Amino acid sequence: MAEPLLLTTRDELLAALPRFAAAPRLALDCESNGMHAWRAKLCLLQLAVADGDVSSDGVALVDTLALGDLSALGDLLGPDGPVKILHDSGFDARLLRGAGVTLGNVVDTSVMARFLGCRETGLGTLLGQRFGVALDKSLQQHDWARRPLGAREVAYLAGDVADLGRLAAALEAEVAAKDIVDEVAEESAYALRSALADEGATGYWRVKGVRELGAVGRAVARALWHVREAVAEAKDVPPGRVFSNASLVQLAKARPRTGADVRASGLLGAASGGGTAEAVAEAVAAAMAAGDIPADDRRWFVSERAPGDLALRRVRETVLQHWRAEEAVRRGVDLQVVLPGHCLADLTAAGARAVADLARIDGLGASRIARYGATIVEKINSVA
């Protein structure tokens, strides 16, 4: 493979774009500073032409921090550009969206591996098992906002895309042999849609344990979340370094009254700094006085999937799980091929009186509806 080409200016990027735009398929990866900053920022983008079997013509490393404006990449990386091969596209799609680029026309090697039933789906594991490629993962937690890039960093970045084309070709052959092309395509599209629909910063209502806190507890959790965000933004550190999600829940339960109580809890992180304990205590007191979260926030605590009859939902789930397992064995495919977990959850909650109702289930797809629609409806209505 040729020496990676580092693109740091708009002129350099524009000069390289025609070669990539003319390619039918591109290998793509993104790097951020997410382990080191308040909000993850796209720091580098790796591109390689994938000619079907192996990435060729070298690798381009786009220094997105140096460039700033990435509008020139919009057409290339969007839905009308060449096929982009990624491993777990959701993370990259969110990073790119934050930089003003909407990712589209994607092949996801992670989805293929999962639907093929691979027990380990990490890129390094897959490349090692299939091609004996030892992928360097020593810089997984590196701060990619740091400059300059040394030889070690450049080699690491190039390694993440150098064999993606070859991996995709191998997995696609296995997917075709299993006759699960449509299911993989549907799940890849669903994963990308879900990533792009994500609001970005995770809200306090998504923290594990918050939903079990009760009205006052969730009010305290909300207040603690905002304290943590403010401290993390001011210091430009990941929020978890101020205090972790687990600590947030513990503080919401303990409801310390003073800064001394907060410090004595041992729940603050290394980056909390002076004044954080007092801010936490003040937030706890204010939230307890309020007694609950604002009315607008309460929608996050109402499950969109919750039907009126929990017992009915559980029976539906059991029936669909049994059918899914039997069909997976019959076809010799992974359970997710027959019915992904997110579709199972939605079907369990929503039900379906007719095949036409199944179109509401995002990610189920026309192929599954054509193959299984009548059976799914029959199974659901057998316990309705």
pLDDT for the residue numbered 354:
95
Range of the domain at 86: 5-197
Could you tell me the CATH number of the domain that includes residue 337? 1.10.150.80
Looking at the structure, tell me whether residues 371 and 274 fall in a common domain: no
Looking at the structure, tell me whether residues 189 and 216 fall in a common domain: no
Q: What is the pLDDT of residues 66-86, one digit of tens each?
A: 999 999 999 999 999 999 999
Specify whether the CB–CB gap between 149 and 143 falls below 8 A.
no
This prediction has a pTM of 0.87
pLDDT for the residue numbered 51:
72
**Strand ranges across the sheet with 106-108:** 5-7, 55-63, 42-50, 25-32, 83-86, 106-108
Per-residue tokens: 142:
């590196």
Task: Count CB atoms within 10 A of the CB of residue 59.
Answer: 25
d(CA 144, CA 137): 14
SS3 category, 316: helix
pLDDT for the residue numbered 119:
94
pLDDT-based confidence at residue 118 (cuts at 50, 70, 90): very high
pLDDT for the residue numbered 308:
55
Q: What is the pLDDT of residues 325-378, one digit of tens each?
A: 999 999 999 999 999 999 999 999 888 899 999 999 999 999 999 999 999 999
Domain boundary among 161, 179, 197: 197
Looking at the structure, tell me whether residues 278 and 338 fall in a common domain: no
Query: Is 1 a residue whose pLDDT tops 70?
Result: no
Domain boundary among 301, 326, 349: 301
* CA distances in angstroms from 98 to 24, 64, 93, 145, 267, listed in the order given: 26, 12, 9, 15, 31
Looking at the structure, tell me whether residues 215 and 185 fall in a common domain: no
- Average pLDDT over the chain, rounded to an integer: 93
- Rg value, the chain, Cα: 24
Segment 163-176 mean pLDDT? 97
Percent of the chain with pLDDT over 90: 87
**What is the number of domains present in the chain?**
3
pLDDT for the residue numbered 53:
44
pLDDT for the residue numbered 384:
65
pLDDT for the residue numbered 37:
95
Q: What is the pLDDT of residues 8-39, one digit of tens each?
A: 999 999 999 999 999 999 999 999 999 999 99
Looking at the structure, tell me whether residues 355 and 290 fall in a common domain: no
Could you tell me the CATH number of the domain that includes residue 251? 1.10.150
pLDDT for the residue numbered 299:
87
Q: What is the pLDDT of residues 265-290, one digit of tens each?
A: 999 999 998 899 999 999 999 999 99
Could you tell me the CATH number of the domain that includes residue 178? 3.30.420.10
C-alpha of 383 from chain center? 34
Query: Is 54 a residue whose pLDDT tops 50?
Result: no
